[in-house]
Amino acid sequence: MPTISTGDKVLVTGANGFIAVWVVRKFLEKGYAVRGSVRSADKGKFLKEMFKSYGDKFELVVVEDITKEGAFDEAVKGVDAIAHTASPFYLDAASVDELIGPAVNGTTCILKSAAKNGQGVKRIVITSSCASVVEVGNDKVFTEKDWNELAIKEVKEQGDEASGLAKYFASKTLAEKAAWEFYEKNKSDVKWDLAVLNPPFVFGPIIHDVKGVDSLNTSARQWHDTVLVDGKPKDFLTTQGESWIDVRDVAEAHVLALEKEAAGGERIIISEGSFVWQDWIDAANSLSPSPIPSHTPLPVGYPGAGRTAKPPVVYDTAKEKRILDLKYHTKEETTRDILADFEKRGW
Ligand code: NDP
């Protein structure tokens, strides 16, 4: 399959989100044109301002309901590739449908629109998640062959009573499955192919429009509350965690997944490595001078206790190294940039 090259136009869905704004920025910096989709013109205002120096290389389209048949029929016209990031990510959903509906139907809608009207589309990259790979409680090294059947089972058996985590995990797993199923059924009729990225927890500085800590996206909020709010129990800090990746490396991965021929037809785990939450507290305290002097002293938790902790989840990233070969930010770099951003915001 042909891949994209500088000057091509990429549709980025959910362009106002934590990850997506970095994705848009990365494409623009590399010389691509971007059409960003948002749910309302209001939600796109800050993007217009942020990327105004790119002139007509950045445009916005409003797609009010991504689950409506034909939602993206107009948005896909004239683009060379699509990065589909829009999907709800919160862990306290009351119902299964509020997550699975937009995750699954949003994904199939964009693929259908691309099949119908995306004559110029060469590749679609979908922002899936390690949520669709990992099964909580299983100690193995997870690879791209693994699927989170456990979350689907929990949601099937317990419905709205399933845990918030299972609802979100199931939404991502079912959405990714739906994407591959659609592609397999239609690949002989479409000119594009599919690549899927599976990041674990994504952390990093914020450039999207956030009014305050309370409206931070899920992963950034968890990081903030762990590193800056004192009093987390030792057991939580030294046994709980996951794997992680810097948001700027996720953005780079989206570009590479569209540029690298070998990414076509692949789901790819992108992860810097594992963490327990104490590691981030240690990283914050290791920085001198502190990037956030307004928070002196920072919470210290249980210094060094993370170093001997068992990694909560381990992913095999051999495929990423072979195909994308990302240069990951370190925990210290990511921590420094997040804290410097918090300081500027007065958080
Ligand atoms: P954000 O909450 O910051 O952004 C989510 C984006 O999806 C927003 O543009 C949001 O639009 C849109 N969206 C949410 N719900 C709906 C809906 N019902 N209909 C249409 N659009 C919707 O989250 P992230 O940037 O963190 O997440 C982006 C993607 O990355 C998601 O697919 C998520 O699952 C995935 N991901 C995130 C990880 C992380 O740690 N952050 C880890 C792994 C994967 P609006 O602002 O209008 O609500």
Domain boundaries along the sequence of the chain: 9-206+244-272+315-326
Distance (angstroms) between ligand 1 centre and the Cα of 205 equals 16
Q: Give the pLDDT confidence score for residue 340 in this predicted structure.
A: 98
Distance (angstroms) between ligand 1 centre and the Cα of 293 equals 31
Q: Give the pLDDT confidence score for residue 1 in this predicted structure.
A: 65
Q: Which residue minimizes the CA distance to atom 32 of ligand 1?
A: 87
Q: Give the pLDDT confidence score for residue 138 in this predicted structure.
A: 87
Distance (angstroms) between ligand 1 centre and the Cα of 290 equals 31
Q: Give the pLDDT confidence score for residue 52 in this predicted structure.
A: 98
Measured CA distances, 327 to 83, 173, 330 (Å):
21, 27, 9
Q: Give the pLDDT confidence score for residue 137 in this predicted structure.
A: 86
Which regions in the chain score pLDDT beneath 50? none
- Report the C-alpha gap between 180 and 6 in whole angstroms: 27
Q: Which of 85, 87, 275 to mutate to test the pocket of ligand 1 (most atoms within 8 A of CB)?
A: 87
Ramachandran class of 159: left when φ > 0, alpha when ψ lies in -120 to 50, beta otherwise = left
Q: Residue 13 CA: which ligand 1 atom is closest? A: 9
Q: Which residue minimizes the CA distance to atom 4 of ligand 1?
A: 17
- Report the C-alpha gap between 298 and 285 in whole angstroms: 7
19 Cβ inside 6 Å of ligand 1? yes
Q: Give the pLDDT confidence score for residue 202 in this predicted structure.
A: 98
329 Cβ inside 6 Å of ligand 1? no
- Report the C-alpha gap between 249 and 263 in whole angstroms: 16
Q: Give the pLDDT confidence score for residue 55 in this predicted structure.
A: 98
Q: Give the pLDDT confidence score for residue 56 in this predicted structure.
A: 97
Q: Which residue minimizes the CA distance to atom 31 of ligand 1?
A: 87
What does the pLDDT look like over 134-152, one tens digit per residue? Answer: 998 888 999 999 999 999 9
Q: Give the pLDDT confidence score for residue 58 in this predicted structure.
A: 98
What does the pLDDT look like over 82-121, one tens digit per residue? Answer: 999 999 999 999 999 999 999 999 999 999 999 999 999 9
Does the reported pTM lie above 0.95? Answer: yes
Distance (angstroms) between ligand 1 centre and the Cα of 239 equals 27
Reported CATH class of domain 9-206+244-272+315-326: alpha beta
Strands of the sheet containing 123-127, edge to edge, are: 58-62, 33-38, 9-13, 81-84, 123-127, 193-198, 267-269
Q: Give the pLDDT confidence score for residue 3 in this predicted structure.
A: 87
